Each structure stands twice: as structure tokens, then as C-alpha cells.
Structure 1
């Protein structure tokens, strides 16, 4: 599937082309650019509930999703966070988000990474139970945002069927958003999503230096 990235490169090309222009030429160019952008914005859809996928081998998938969670809470919306795979952890975010206990429901229902549990049947059972709980929030119009953290890992490991997930998120209310995080997002999920971001790993302190996960950085 070809992805149109023309919107992404326009600003870079404008910056390069603007180099060497006179002040008057630059001002005219930016004015034309503003007119184009204003027209695009005026024609844009005001609101739409989004399916959002954060994937890739780099760090920051859950962190980016939690930024959206924070924004939604700031607007007074109700949010649900459901953790797949990482449920054996007690992340610091959970403690911070407890400040919004009237708006936020947080469920960490996994039992840890598969190499910790070493019980595939149990992992599948827990993942499927977590998905059924997730559906309750996805279909509930009271929740503006539902975060399915690390669900892509459960899909990659075969604990869940991608067609079931796609069918499930299709039941969400029109204006609500669903975020799915984790590396290895299947192509079928990417195809149905509205916003997909791939985190690219360049360097990692554990891989290059053997530095363990640290409080405030990884958890």
C-alpha cells in the first residue's frame, strides 16, 4: 500500500527553496503558503474518531500514546488504558494517572512478558480475556479514548487474531479514538488505521552499553 507523504516533505522543500530569497520574495512565498494551508484547513473534516497505531522497534510507542491520554484528560474526557503483556509491571505512569481516577480507568491484566511466564496457553488465555475487557471500553460511548498498550505484541505472538481486533475496533462510537501500541503491528491493522507512526531504533543504551531499564526512562 502506497502512503502519500507529500504533506510531510512540503515544509522541508519550502525551507530549502526559501534559502537565498530576498525579504520581499520570502514574504510573498510564505503568504502563498499560508493561503494554501488555510484553504486545506478550512476544507478539512472538523472531527473524526481515529484508529491510531504506534509501532516500530524504537522506544516511545507507549510514551507517545500516554501523551494523548494526558491531553484527553486535560479536556475532561474519560479514558481507558488496558495493558497487554506488561501487566506484571507497576509503571510510574499508573501512580501519576491516579490523580484522574474519576476520568481514567487503568487495567493491567497481563502477567508479564512471554519469556517470564513460559506458559503459552496461559498467555493466550490472559490475552483473550484482556481483549474481551477492552471491547467493553471500546464500545462504551462514555470513553473518548481507549489505549490498548502492547496489543501488537499479543498479535505478533499469535495470542489474538488480527481479524478479531479489526472487527472489534470497528464497533467503536464514531467520535471515539483507539490507540494500539507495540512493535510488529500487522499489515492488516496498519491498513485500517487512520494514523500510523513507526518508531525507528537508532541507538539503545541496553544494546550498545548494557544499561538496564531505569526509573523515569523505561518505567
Structure 2
């Protein structure tokens, strides 16, 4: 319920998206943990945020010896009843309750946890849905690290109106034809890529015509605007 924090240390699969939605549906807040980040950063997050519960998998958890997680790939967890008959739902969250806690990069010191409320998250999504014309036909690409704030934006804006989120596998989160072919094969309509990725795409790489491309988080060079502005 509200005021509870659940850490999600999960690989980039559909289970990650389901876990985020499940935590939010319960009224709790989630702490996204990218298993690919340095162990010192992850331990700092756990030590400071002190989550009430950790969800992980056996492959990821073996690199997190300081936590005692629930393993989603544990056969016992997989076969557990969907509903506990003795469970009494807690009151739902208010707009001021925490939706998730995101940690800064730590480029100017130790990473710091930033609390995002339900009110703030809802306002962001309402703006995105309106300005980006998100619809049930939208297929949004989850490219960002789950530990980066953009991931919430990529993951939820389409789902809120009945659209689809497409999770990029870890091995495809690099610039190259494999990435753009994946985007085309998955019929992605909305994607957010940082300038470093866009700028490193070879000339033969193309994105689907008519797709909505967002680029940010750092300065976007004029040549990137010129290259992609007329094609997507």
C-alpha cells in the first residue's frame, strides 16, 4: 500500500513492465534498479532507500548479495495463488503519495533519490498523451534504462490509452542496423533516443516513416535535426 517501497531489480523483459504496473496498482511505490549499473551504485540505492520488498530473478540476484529478494523465476513464486483470501487491500494512494523513486546519475556527487508523486506522474502522462497524440494504435519503444526517468514516460504513455509498449532487449540498445530493424519489425510509432545513439547510427539506418521521434536529455546537434527532422 501507500508509503511502501518495492525495489525492482529485473532484466529487460515483459515481467519488468508487469512488475511496475503491479506495484503501482497495489498503491506502493517502486524503485527501479538497472542490473547493468555498477554494484556500488546499486548498493548505495538500497542502503539509502531501504525498500520494503525486492523483486528480482535468480540471475540478477546473485550479483546482489546484500538483499533477500522474491525471485520471480522461482517455481514457488510462479505457482503461488494469485489472490490471498486473507488479504485486506490497503486504502489507495492519494495524488501526493509516491509513485516511484528515481536516482540521479551521481555526476556531481553521490546519486540522490528523487521522489515522483502520483500527481506529478499523472500530469506528465496527460501532457504526453495530448501533445504526442497517443492512441490505442501507439507502439512506444522502451529504450531507456529502467533506472532513468525517461523509462517511466516510455513505458506508460501508450499503456494508459490501450496502446503497446515494446521493450528493447539489452543487446539491441546500441546504435546499428539491428536496432533500427527491430524498431521496424515491431512497428514502433513513438520512440525516444538520446543524441549519442542517433548520431552513431550509420547512414543506411532508417526509422519508420511517420514515426514520432523524441531526442533529448542532452544538447541535440543541428545536423541530427537536419538528418532526422524530414524523415520521421
The TM-score with structure 2 as length reference comes to 0.24
Based on CA coordinates, which of the two structures has the bigger radius of gyration? 1
Q: Which has the higher contact order (CA 8 A, sep 6+)?
A: 1
More helix as a share of residues: 1
